[in-house]
Structure 1
Amino acid sequence: MTAGTSVGVIVLAHGAEPWLTECVNSVLASEGVEVELVVVDNSAAPEDIRPLRHRQDLVVLEPGTNTGFAGGCNLGAEHLTSEYLALVNSDCLLDATTLAQLVSEARRPDAGPVMASIRFAERPDVLNSSGNPVHLLGICWAGGLEETEHRTEPYDVSSASGACLVLRRELWSRLAGFDEFYFAYLEDTELSLRCRRWGLVPRCVPTAIARHHYEFSRNPTKMYLLERNRLLLLATMWPKRALLLLAPLLIAFEIALTLLAFAQGWGPKKVAGWLWLARNTAHVRARRRILQSERAVPQQEWMERLTTRFADHVIGSAAATRVVNAVVTTYWRLVRRLV
């Protein structure tokens, strides 16, 4: 680690933020790096953001509206000039050496975004995420959930979690930040996949710990964004031939998800996602042209990192998961060489 390495940290605040001040304090207590901190007020509760407004060791940005995770990170990055950028969730508490460890790994010329080991705050030996697997059908989830971490050396991941990650500023500039049409969810997945297609590997440093005060939620708005953005990711990132080959699986999966959405009460939100894509076809096409033109590695190579196997908790039934995994894995094994 070079003494005085500058890290610009972006923390977003929205709604009730009971851990915001503690998060900020943990970031500013980081050792081995020089921290420049920006907090983006995405309509945070006044009582939670107020204590930060007059502090001299950070800057509070007020866009006047909720810009979402993607827009808030882009806005924060515009106000930073540091050599490295870090995204830290407002309910994450960092160990003193976490940012320094992430910077040390991110400085490797072949490194993409580098994430911390995301642990449950109340159970710091237990993983909330050790890297996010990306499924062939576009679903992404927290990898290693509820497992105990024993690794001590950095390792490759399919997608680095935006809960706490670091990347080189020049890489962020090359990416032009996040696509703000995502608003929230899967923008970090797109970022990781884009880097991998350039031959830059997303990584996790298991000894760089972020303790996450995580509360699982599954509400209609969240499900709308997850599903809408999954389709946006597929439509812009996946190669045309892969989409054609995967069409039978994608159609069957879409039907199953739609039936599930209506059974669970968020069916109208699922339909709203289709309507959003129909209204924004110009953006989808423009984004696809950008993403398809920047690939530096063969399609098959980056798609090798996509998994054909869902974790049990994603589908919710171990028996159903085994069946779905067997079908998808067998089908992909038969057609993958045609991509």
Structure 2
Amino acid sequence: MQDMSPETSSTGLPRVSAVVLAWGAEPLLRRSVEALLASVKVEVDVVLVDNGCTTDDVDQLRDTAGVTVVGEGHNVGFSAGCNVGVAASDGEYVALINGDAVVEPTTLARLVEELADPSIGIAAGAVRLADEPDLLNSSGNEVHVLGLSWIGGFRERETRTEPTETAGAMGACLVTRRAHWDRLGGFDPHYFAYHEDADLSIRTWRVGLRVVNVPDAVALHRYEFSRNGFKFYLVERNRVMFVVTLWGARSLALLGPPLLALEFAMLALAARQGWLPDKLRGYRWLWQHRGHLRQRRARLQAERTVSDRVWMRVLTDRLDTPLINPPGTPVLNAAMAAYWRLIRRWV
């Protein structure tokens, strides 16, 4: 592709490459792409990744001006699919937008505007529920000190008037500078799906940059909350990979007791709810990929520029996720809050 920076573009506007994954049969996909192309105050191109689309939407969009189609037509996962899309783009800014999310005309421009602050590494949109647009899907994702991550502000009404810092940017609608994406190397494709946005966000905090959620950068999301064995497998497997590669050695040692307690709680919950084989499958995968985990941990520990004590201030000690609620969650929350207050000065 031809290199066109905002300074050399014919419009003089910031250039944003929006990566959209086409997977399965998504009724909002065309609206999602059309809304991106209708963005104002930025010059947008869309990289549409055929990640196993089962309708004719990709073929219908292929000849649309401003759209580039890549991908081999099978599901390589959200993480790898986004990497493919970004690699095929050349905008100064990279946007990740879900195929079931529809942005407002000014959303991308507002996120780019926030990134003019050099202390910000990722700017994420306020994601609202497509069928109930007065309610939030996410005002930013929460990340727990034990590695769990979930959407924040779910089904709340928007009351913010200014951007707020958030531990995690929801991958459904975020923008970052290409230079920052390249610095971090994008997503680890081993995540496949879930936790990759938490990984990118926490790594951003660990290199001294901030992650913000912007209330007037709105995307409407056709959100479906699902529970199935494969999702539990990925969520739990990826949580462990996330923690063992990003948390420092001292933090892992200090958090060892509650991390072990959480594992036992998850095993009990998995047995009770019928997804124990999926939990055990995750352990098997982690063991089989221990070489990758060691190598990734070494690289991520080397890239960190701020201490755990500094970046861990964005984490929460409260477990409040609708997906996984281990037995005795209120007791766990009280105990974790007390334990975290005790040890955080030494991480």
After TM superposition, the score normalised by the length of structure 2 is 0.94
What corresponds to 2:223 in structure 1?
214
* SS, match of residue 304 in structure 1: helix
C-alpha root-mean-square deviation of aligned residues, in Å? 1.6
Which of 227, 251, 254 is matched with 2:260 structurally?
251
Whether 1:103 aligns to 2:115 is: no
Give CA deviations for 1:160-181 in whole Å, capped at 9, x if unaligned. 1111000001101101111111
Q: CA deviation at 1:107?
A: 2.3
Give CA deviations for 1:94-140 in whole Å, capped at 9, x if unaligned. 10100000010022111011100000012112110000110011000
Q: Which amino acid aligns with 1:29?
A: A
Q: CA deviation at 1:338?
A: 2.2
What corresponds to 2:65 in structure 1?
56
Q: CA deviation at 1:316?
A: 5.1
Deviating more after overlay: 224-233 vs 56-65: 56-65
Q: Which amino acid aligns with 2:204?
A: C
Whether 1:18 aligns to 2:31 is: no
Q: CA 1:314/1:68 → structure 2, altered by over 3 Å: closer, same or farther?
A: closer
Q: CA deviation at 1:224?
A: 0.7
Following the alignment from structure 1 to structure 2, what is the Cα–Cα distance between the partners of residues 97 and 24?
15
Q: CA deviation at 1:16?
A: 1.4
Q: CA deviation at 1:314?
A: 5.3
What corresponds to 2:339 in structure 1?
331
Q: Which amino acid aligns with 2:106?
A: T
Q: Which amino acid aligns with 1:253?
A: L
* SS, match of residue 299 in structure 2: helix
Following the alignment from structure 1 to structure 2, what is the Cα–Cα distance between the partners of residues 52 and 180?
26
Whether 1:188 aligns to 2:193 is: no
Within 5 A, what are the aligned runs for 1:112-261?
Answer: 112-261=121-270
Q: CA 1:139/1:262 → structure 2, altered by over 3 Å: closer, same or farther?
A: same
What corresponds to 1:292 in structure 2?
301
Following the alignment from structure 2 to structure 1, what is the Cα–Cα distance between the partners of residues 197 and 205?
12
Q: Which amino acid aligns with 2:125?
A: A
Query: Do the aligned partners of 1:312 and 1:321 also contact (CA within 8 Å) in 2?
Result: no
* SS, match of residue 141 in structure 1: strand
Query: Do the aligned partners of 1:315 and 1:321 also contact (CA within 8 Å) in 2?
Result: no
Following the alignment from structure 1 to structure 2, what is the Cα–Cα distance between the partners of residues 312 and 155?
20
Q: Which amino acid aligns with 2:256?
A: A
Whether 1:271 aligns to 2:291 is: no
Give CA deviations for 1:28-71 in whole Å, capped at 9, x if unaligned. 11111000111000111133333223323301113243121111
Following the alignment from structure 2 to structure 1, what is the Cα–Cα distance between the partners of residues 325 and 293?
31
Following the alignment from structure 1 to structure 2, what is the Cα–Cα distance between the partners of residues 54 and 315?
43
Give CA deviations for 1:228-273 in whole Å, capped at 9, x if unaligned. 1000001100111111111111111101111111221211110011
* SS, match of residue 315 in structure 2: coil
Following the alignment from structure 1 to structure 2, what is the Cα–Cα distance between the partners of residues 301 and 186?
21
Following the alignment from structure 2 to structure 1, what is the Cα–Cα distance between the partners of residues 137 and 13?
31
* SS, match of residue 146 in structure 2: coil
Q: Which amino acid aligns with 2:198?
A: T
What corresponds to 1:9 in structure 2?
18
Query: Do the aligned partners of 2:309 and 2:346 also contact (CA within 8 Å) in 1?
Result: no
Which of 252, 262, 278 is matched with 2:271 structurally?
262
Following the alignment from structure 1 to structure 2, what is the Cα–Cα distance between the partners of residues 241 and 6?
42
Deviating more after overlay: 303-312 vs 170-179: 303-312
After TM superposition, the score normalised by the length of structure 1 is 0.96
Q: Which amino acid aligns with 2:330?
A: R
Q: Which amino acid aligns with 2:189?
A: E
What corresponds to 1:65 in structure 2?
74
Whether 1:46 aligns to 2:52 is: no
Q: Which amino acid aligns with 1:103?
A: V
* SS, match of residue 133 in structure 1: strand
Gaps of 5+ in 2: 1-5
Q: Which amino acid aligns with 2:341?
A: R
Following the alignment from structure 1 to structure 2, what is the Cα–Cα distance between the partners of residues 113 and 275?
33
Following the alignment from structure 1 to structure 2, what is the Cα–Cα distance between the partners of residues 189 and 316?
19
Q: CA 1:4/1:312 → structure 2, altered by over 3 Å: closer, same or farther?
A: closer
* Aligned length in residues: 338
Q: CA deviation at 1:321?
A: 3.5
Q: CA deviation at 1:143?
A: 0.2
